[in-house]
Amino acid sequence: MSMFFTIAAIILIVIVIFQIAKASEYVSVLKGEEKAFKQSNKVNGTLMIAFLVLGLIGVYWCNHLLYHETLFPQGSASIEGEQVDKLLWITIILTGIVFFATQILLFWFSYRYQYKEGKQAHFYPHNNKLEVVWTVVPTIVLLILIVYGLRSWFLFTGDSPKNAMKIEVTGHQFGWVFRYPGQDGVFGKKYFKDIDPAHSNELGLIWKDSAALNQKADPAAFDDIVIDGTMYLVKGVPVRLLINSQDVIHDVGLPQFRMKMDAVPGTPTTLWFTPRFTTKEMRERTGNPNYVYELACDQLCGQGHYSMRAVVDVVTQAEFDVIMSQQKPAYYAAFPDKDPSVKAAKDTTNPASTVADTTKVMAKL
């Protein structure tokens, strides 16, 4: 019903505008074409100035009203992202100067040089100096911006510091999976035919031998930690993201960190940055107790795209160590009987095994 009223209102507005236009035509006929033209010309010139003033007030008001809703007041949450903010500010200032200069001149000229009887317009059919100026100056400015942007891009996507923490980010419809290397500091190998979410192997880690696939289990994959939905980072420690996709093109969007990188099936991409503030510190900076860093998919990837979101929790090194100590390798989730802690718990709750162990010890004595 609301859609019906909306369509009806639009049709009525069109009819009203049409009737006003027809009425103005009838008035011009009654008054005379020349007299009506002069009056409408003055009205339009005055409206141009009024529109200019109201427009500039509107621009200021919108900026004043909505600026605090943007990510600018918080500042970049990564050290490298500060370069992005700097480039964006330079771009806004340059384009802002051009915008205000051209718009003010456009509307002022429309008023100042409106038609007047007996006044002749002066034409510039060709002017080499003007053409050189408005071609060369924008070219130089854009070239500087492009070079500055490429330098930042090559930094983010280039070699990360040697002490950078490595995290593998895998996107799929419709969620994110994060993998951390275990105590060996090495990511285990994976194979897409081994992907089996039903048996706790979302990434296809190679945990067992397969004659059919002509592959052997990779010991480095046994201690890898896999976490769904939340990525843990350490303040002040560079992090290198190894980005993958299991199905369609996704995009790792980290707006607070000013970072963004596509997740392409079959083509791993990389990105690195250094977090500046912990989540707790950012909550204090923003005054929002529920503030969280977000990892969102910035590439339309299907019907569930809107729900493809993860939380990024930036903590201190001590907090990170505690969190990781509480995580179990994905291998133990798939094979609980291989988990040393489960074995130990079974042994302590099994009297028979305890008696047997005691007997063995006594025999040795």
Is 53 domain-assigned?
no
Predicted confidence band of residue 360 (pLDDT cuts 50, 70, 90): very low
State yes or no: pLDDT of 223 exceeds 80: yes
Phi, psi (degrees; rounded to nearest 5) at 277: -130, 145
Band the pLDDT of 355: cuts 50, 70, 90. very low
Is residue 52 a part of any domain in this protein?
no
- Determine the Cα–Cα distance for residues 5 and 321; give it in Å rounded to an integer: 59
Segment 201-221, tens digit of pLDDT = 999 999 988 766 678 888 999
Of 354 and 98, the one with more pLDDT: 98
In a domain, 100, yes or no: no
pLDDT at 58 over 60: yes
Q: What is the pLDDT of residue 364?
A: 42
Tokens of residue 303, six digits: 């019907």
User: Sorting pLDDT into bands at 50, 70 and 90, what band is 1?
Assistant: low
- Tell me, what's the pLDDT at 23? 67
The pLDDT of residue 359 is above 50: no
Distance CA 363, CA 360 (A): 5
What is the pLDDT, as a whole number, of residue 300?
92
**Strand ranges of the sheet holding 230-234, from the earlier edge strand across to the other edge:** 230-234, 309-315, 293-297, 250-254, 259-263
With a cut of 70, say whether residue 313 has pLDDT above it: yes
pLDDT in tens, 180-198: 998 888 999 998 888 988 8
**For residue 261, what are the domain limits?**
165-334
pLDDT at 25: 62
Residue-wise pLDDT tens digits, 81-134: 999 999 999 999 999 999 999 999 999 988 888 877 777 777 777 888 888 998
Task: Record the pTM.
Answer: 0.77
> Would you say residue 101 lies in a domain?
no
Distances (CA, A) of 72 to 82, 145, 254: 11, 20, 14
- On whether residue 199 sits in a domain, the answer given is yes
Q: Give me the number of domains the chain comprises.
A: 2
Alpha helices in 113-208 (DSSP H): 128-157
C-alpha closest to that of 175 among 12, 18, 86, 304: 304
How far the first Cα of the chain sits from its last, in Å, is 90
- 3-class secondary-structure state, position 280: helix
CATH of the domain at 229: 2.60.40.420
Say yes or no: 169 and 24 in one domain: no
Q: Confirm if 242 and 167 have CB atoms less than 8 A apart.
A: yes
Residue at 140 is within a domain: no
- Asked whether residue 75 is domain-assigned, the answer is no
**311 pairs with which residues across the strands?**
230, 294
- Backbone region of residue 118 per phi and psi (left: phi > 0; alpha: psi in -120 to 50; beta: other values): left
Task: State which amino acid sits at residue 214.
Answer: N
Q: Mean pLDDT in the chain?
A: 86
Please return the burial class of 74, using the count of CB atoms within 10 Å of its CB with bins 0-12, 13-18 and 19+: middle
Flag whether pLDDT at 22 surpasses 80. Answer: no
Note whether residue 289 is domain-resident.
yes
H helices present in the chain, as ranges = 2-31, 33-66, 81-112, 128-157, 279-286, 317-325, 330-334, 340-348, 351-364
SS3 242: strand
Tokens of 107: 């509307």
- pLDDT given at position 357: 47
Together in a domain, 174 and 25: no
Amino acid at 22: K
pLDDT for 342 beyond 70? no
